[in-house]
Amino acid sequence: MTMTEIAQTIDAAFSAQRDTVASRRQSFGLAERRAALARLGRAIRQNETALIAALATDFGKPEAEVILTEIVPVMQEIRHTSRHLRRWMRARRVLPTLATLGTSARVRPEARGVCLIIAPWNYPFSLAIGPLVSALAAGNSAIIKPSEMAPATSAFIARLISEIFPPDLVTVIEGAVDTSTELLAQPFDHIFFTGSPKVGKIVMGAAAKTLASVTLELGGKSPTIIGPDADLNAAARWIAFGKFANAGQTCIAPDHVFVHHAVKNDFLTALRDRIAGSYGTGPTSPHLARIVNADHATRLAGLLRDAVAKGARVLLEGGQKDREMGPTLIESITPEMEIDHEEIFGPILPIMTYDNLDTVIDRINGRPKPLALYIFSKQRSQVDRIIAAISSGGVGVNLTVAQFVHPNLPFGGVNTSGIGMAHGHYGFRAFSHERAILSNHFSALPLIFPPYTPKVNRLVALIKRILG
């Protein structure tokens, strides 16, 4: 489509949803929201085979990995949200203070209005539909922009949504950067973006022009710390899964590992054994997804080549064949290397040795705050010390990535790694306006309204002594 056609399509889609905001506030209640979520859940189950095929086309994802990382999280989100939605929607009463005696107060969650969901390419289904669950639960309409870098999955989402929802409630607009730019020019009530910090800044800048609220789920270099007392076999299992699922293209994957010198060799042995048992040797494995496209495969090869040229040592050579890249371990990383600063987003894992935990803490705190922090240790005091010293989006203790699928935990970053929270009640609140309502019954506040007579001034002085 031409830019004019793109703009016309987007204007029509936005206007259709904007025109129904007022009526939706009155008609899209608990029953209607639950029904919408039920339709979505049924459609996913009925089209599961087609979704698995689409992700195989885009990524070569193993079927089990699609089920675990794309389908199960969304279905769990639907079930959890439907089960708790009545309570979430209920107005919450709050106690009066001395100054507001004679009144009653409540906080009423209300739909924001028309929302934009811009999804990433790495988990193109779950990271598009998961936020939609929260948007619908909160009573909003939504326009979804899937990633053009996963075209088969994007087309699947567009077809799925068009078959189960009217366009004035949910619609999908496919396209590339021009489409996203045009969408961001519309005065959405809320924008939910998942992607890189670089693009997140662009989204936030666009939102500022219309004063739209935002949820930004970004990324960063999530570190892993292995203490000298850690269960090394368990650490190897969790790190191998968290790092190499989706070929490392996961925003909360362990980006690099700090391992205590006393257990480094034993850990490397355990990790190599785990990688061999899970993925075999070489770049081709039926249990390993592909890199999303040739450009990203070239970028990863360049990161590895730059690191080796500047002194890094390869501990495990995974190999690369076109878009297929095997798990690769490297060490001797220095600040001059691009891989030390750029989020890897691929199956390359730097291993760093430490003696003093303070140096690790200082190094992590000297970088942008990560989306996730992983700690492997049996000492509660050591774990608590690290958590207290390092700011991050979320923390996994003796595990990786599983915090994403806990429906009662907020998911989100801090500063560079994100703004706002998602999942479960936190996602519902992200797409809701929490409206304050104060009702008067027998408030005494009119006694201190002007004119400020001596009597009123005495009352003001008394209030100041009590409350001031």
Confidence of residue 447 (pLDDT cuts 50, 70, 90): very high
Residue 335 within any structural domain of the chain: yes
How confident is the model over 364-390, as pLDDT tens digits?
999 999 999 999 999 999 999 999 999
413 token code pair: 């970053």
Confidence of residue 130 (pLDDT cuts 50, 70, 90): very high
Q: Distance (Å, rounded) from C-alpha 195 to C-alpha 449?
A: 52
pTM for this one?
Answer: 0.95
The verdict on 343 and 325 lying in the same domain is: yes
Interhelix angle 197-210/177-184, nearest 10 degrees: 30
Task: Using the predicted structure, report yes or no on whether residue 419 has a pLDDT greater than 80.
Answer: yes
Q: Which of 70, 77, 217, 324 is catalytic?
A: 217
186 lies in which domain range? Answer: 3-218+418-435
Q: Tell me whether the omega of the peptide bond preceding residue 62 falls within 30 degrees of 0, making it cis.
A: no
The verdict on 78 and 192 lying in the same domain is: yes
Residue 391 within any structural domain of the chain: yes
Residue 461 within any structural domain of the chain: no
**Is 251 marked active-site?**
yes
Instruction: State residue 281's pLDDT score.
Output: 85
CB atoms within 10 A of CB 59: 26
The verdict on 188 and 237 lying in the same domain is: no
* Number of compact structural domains in the chain: 2
The verdict on 264 and 320 lying in the same domain is: yes
Residue 449 within any structural domain of the chain: no
The verdict on 149 and 229 lying in the same domain is: no
**Is 217 marked active-site?**
yes
User: Which segments within 112-154 are labelled E, that is strand?
Assistant: 114-118, 141-145
Task: Judge whether 394 and 411 are in contact, CB under 8 Å.
Answer: yes
Q: What are phi and psi of 118, to 5 degrees?
A: -105, 115
Instruction: State residue 36's pLDDT score.
Output: 98
The verdict on 36 and 132 lying in the same domain is: yes
Q: Which of 77, 251, 324, 343 is catalytic?
A: 251
User: Which residue stretches of 165-231 are H helix?
Assistant: 177-184, 197-210
The verdict on 230 and 118 lying in the same domain is: no
Confidence of residue 211 (pLDDT cuts 50, 70, 90): very high
Q: Tell me whether the omega of the peptide bond preceding residue 451 falls within 30 degrees of 0, making it cis.
A: yes
Q: Distance (Å, rounded) from C-alpha 297 to C-alpha 128?
A: 24
Q: Distance (Å, rounded) from C-alpha 325 to C-alpha 359?
A: 32
The verdict on 134 and 178 lying in the same domain is: yes
